[in-house]
C-alpha cells in the first residue's frame, strides 16, 4: 500500500509570501496615503526638536510651579493658624473679661450676705440681752407682770420686731421661739394668769424648723407656720387656734390635748403623730396626711 502524496512545499511558501506581500502592500498604501513616503531622518528632525523644546518648557514650568505651590500652601496654612490663634485669644480675653465682671458682683453679694448675717447675729444678741434684763428686773420681773404693763409691752414689741427682721432667717427664728418657750413667755397659762406674756398671734413663723423641740403648753394661736418642720416635737397641751399650718410637718409629734380648732391644716403631714384628746373642730384638713396617727 502506497502512502498518500504530500502537498508541494513550494506552494505553501508561495502562499506565505503572498500574504506577506499583501500585508506590506496594504501598509505601504496607507503609508503613502498619509504622506510619509520618501521622508528621511533630516525631514523628521524639526519635529523632534519641537517635541524636545516643548518637553523642556513643561519640565521647567513644573519645577518652577512646584516651589510656588508649596510656598502658597504654607502661606495659606500660616494665615489659617493665625486666624485660629487669634480666635482662641479673643475667646480667652472675653472669658477673662466676664470673670472680671462676675467676680466683683459675686464678691459684693457675698459681702452683703456676710453683713446681713452679722447684723442678724447682733440683733439676736441684743434681743436676748434685753428680754433677759426684763426677766431679772428686781422692781418688776417680766414673769410677774400684769397684762398691759410696760414690761409686757416692751417684750411684745421687741419680739414682734425681731421676728419680722428674721422673715427669711428660719434658724434664728427658731432660736427666738425656743428661748421664749424655755423662759416661760409663750405658755398657754403663766401661773394664775391666763394666756401668754408674749403673743405670737399673726407672727410670721413660716419655714420654722424645730424638730424634737419641747414646746409643750406653748401658745401659738394665729401664728403663721406654713411649711414649718416640727417633726418629733412635743406640743402637748399647746394652743394653735386659728393658726396657718399648711404643708407643716408634724411627723411623729406629740400633740396630746393640743387645741387645733379652726386651723388650716391643708397639706399638713401628721404621719405617726399622737393626737389623743386634740381638738380639731373646724379645722381644714383637706389634703392632710393622717396615716398612722394615733387618736
**C-alpha cell read off for 143:** 414673769
Distance CA 55, CA 81 (A): 39
Q: How many residues does the chain have?
A: 295
Q: What is the mean pLDDT of residues 81-93?
A: 65
Distance CA 264, CA 224 (A): 10
Sign of CA dihedral 210, 211, 214, 216: positive
**Exposed, middle or buried: residue 160 (CB in 10 Å: 0-12, 13-18, 19+)?**
middle
pLDDT at position 63 is 56
In a domain, 283, yes or no: yes
Q: What is the mean pLDDT of residues 86-107?
A: 62
In a domain, 4, yes or no: no
In a domain, 273, yes or no: yes
In a domain, 252, yes or no: yes
Phi, psi of 166 (to 5 degrees): -100, 30
> In b/e form, how buried is each residue of 89-119, taking b as 16+ CB within 10 angstroms?
eeeeeeeeeeeeeeeeeeeeeeeeeeeeeee
Report the greatest alpha carbon distance in the chain: 175
Residues 118-167 have pLDDT tens digits of 999 999 999 999 999 999 998 889 999 988 999 999 999 999 999 999 98
**C-alpha cell read off for 107:** 464678691
pLDDT at position 158 is 96
Distance CA 124, CA 247 (A): 28
**Calculated CA dihedral for residues 196, 202, 208, 211, nearest 10 degrees:** 40
In a domain, 88, yes or no: no
pLDDT at position 188 is 82
pLDDT at 224 over 50: yes
Please say whether the beta carbons of 267 and 249 come within 8 A. no
**Whole-model pTM?**
0.62
Sign of CA dihedral 50, 54, 57, 59: negative
pLDDT at position 53 is 62
Sign of CA dihedral 63, 68, 74, 77: negative
Distance CA 97, CA 119 (A): 33
The larger pLDDT score, comparing residue 191 to residue 128, is at 128
Of the candidate ranges 38-42, 174-178, 237-241, 255-259, the one whose mean pLDDT is the lowest: 38-42
Q: What share of the chain has pLDDT > 70, as a percent?
A: 60
Phi, psi of 274 (to 5 degrees): -100, 115
Please say whether the beta carbons of 234 and 215 come within 8 A. yes
CATH code for the domain in which residue 232 is found: 2.160.20
How many beta carbons lie within 10 A of that of residue 261, not counting itself?
A: 16
In a domain, 89, yes or no: no
Distance CA 287, CA 266 (A): 5
Structural domains counted in the chain: 1
In a domain, 32, yes or no: no
Q: Report residue 39's pLDDT band, with 50, 70 and 90 as the boundaries.
A: low
Distance CA 84, CA 71 (A): 20
Radius of gyration of the chain (CA): 55
**Residue ranges making up the domain that contains 275:** 122-145+153-295
pLDDT at position 180 is 95
At how many degrees (to 10) do helices 170-182 and 41-135 cross? 20
Q: Which of 22-36, 57-71, 123-137 has the highest mean pLDDT?
A: 123-137
In a domain, 43, yes or no: no
Distance CA 60, CA 95 (A): 53
pLDDT at position 164 is 92
Amino acid at each position: 500500500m502506497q502512502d498518500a502524496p504530500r502537498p508541494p512545499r513550494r506552494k505553501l511558501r508561495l502562499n506565505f509570501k503572498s500574504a506577506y506581500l499583501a500585508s506590506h502592500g496594504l501598509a505601504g498604501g496607507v503609508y503613502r496615503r498619509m504622506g510619509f513616503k520618501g521622508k528621511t531622518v533630516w525631514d523628521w528632525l524639526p519635529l523632534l526638536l519641537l517635541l524636545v523644546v516643548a518637553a523642556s518648557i513643561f519640565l521647567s514650568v513644573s519645577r518652577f510651579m512646584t516651589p510656588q505651590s508649596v510656598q502658597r500652601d504654607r502661606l495659606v496654612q500660616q494665615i489659617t493658624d493665625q486666624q485660629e490663634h487669634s480666635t482662641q485669644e479673643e475667646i480667652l480675653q472675653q472669658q477673662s473679661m466676664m470673670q472680671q465682671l462676675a467676680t466683683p458682683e459675686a464678691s459684693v453679694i457675698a459681702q452683703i450676705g456676710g453683713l446681713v448675717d452679722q447684723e442678724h447675729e447682733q440683733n439676736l444678741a441684743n434681743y436676748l440681752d434685753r428680754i433677759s434684763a426684763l426677766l431679772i428686773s428686781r422692781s418688776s420681773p417680766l414673769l410677774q407682770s400684769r397684762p398691759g404693763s410696760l414690761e409686757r409691752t416692751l417684750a411684745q414689741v421687741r419680739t414682734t420686731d425681731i421676728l419680722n427682721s428674721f422673715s427669711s432667717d428660719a434658724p434664728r427664728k427658731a432660736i427666738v421661739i425656743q428661748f421664749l418657750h424655755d423662759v416661760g413667755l409663750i405658755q398657754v397659762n403663766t401661773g394664775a394668769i391666763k394666756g401668754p406674756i408674749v403673743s405670737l398671734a399673726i407672727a410670721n413663723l413660716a419655714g420654722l424648723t424645730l424638730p424634737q423641740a419641747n414646746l409643750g403648753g406653748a401658745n401659738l394661736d394665729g401664728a403663721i407656720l406654713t411649711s414649718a418642720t416640727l417633726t418629733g416635737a412635743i406640743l402637748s397641751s399647746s394652743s394653735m387656734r386659728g393658726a396657718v399650718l399648711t404643708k407643716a410637718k408634724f411627723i411623729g409629734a406629740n400633740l396630746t390635748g393640743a387645741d387645733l380648732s379652726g386651723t388650716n391644716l391643708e397639706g399638713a403631714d401628721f404621719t405617726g403623730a399622737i393626737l389623743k384628746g386634740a381638738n380639731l373642730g373646724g379645722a381644714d384638713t383637706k389634703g392632710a396626711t393622717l396615716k398612722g396617727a394615733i387618736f
